[in-house]
Amino acid sequence: MIFGRIEDREHIEFLPPSVLQCFDCCQSGKLGELEKGSHEISGENIFVNIVEYETGDRAEKAWEAHRAYLDIHVMLKGEEIIDVNFIGRMKQGIFEPDSDYLPLEGKASAAVHCRPMDFLICFPEDGHKPGIQTETPQMIRKAIFKVRL
């Protein structure tokens, strides 16, 4: 996994062009104009899901991982904690290929505090549990880019 800030783009130019294309979308200022839902960037190879939800208690949130796509979480509004761990250290559920969803069980190795324009890139071996409140529950808005591997 890679955690960083969009404004520090010059330090992440080593990433693949498909990932940098997602960051281009962030820097264009157009993400704020998109409605909730899924939006194609490059067909099924790159798309972004704009989501809004209320953060909550850690115990109420679910672990997940993905096999077909990188997950790039970019916070647009609000703050949340995302717990992370490697799936090799967790109990894996049954993979759902149609939704590219792998449920997981386990404990966090670390936690990332995401603020506006922070990003977290999760690879297939990275379990993550998004939506955890910082101090109190709050409504957040974020972009979750999906980049086909």
Q: List, for residues 37-69, the tens digit of each pLDDT value.
A: 999 999 889 999 999 999 999 999 999 999 999
Q: Which domains does the chain have, with CATH numbers?
A: 2-148 (2.60.120.370)
In the predicted model, residues of the chain with pLDDT beneath 70 are none
Edge to edge, what strands does the sheet with 91-92 contain? 91-92, 102-105, 63-65, 126-132, 80-86, 110-114
What's residue 140's pLDDT? Answer: 98
> Residue 68: what residue type?
A
What's residue 12's pLDDT? Answer: 86
Give me 139's structure tokens.
């409504």
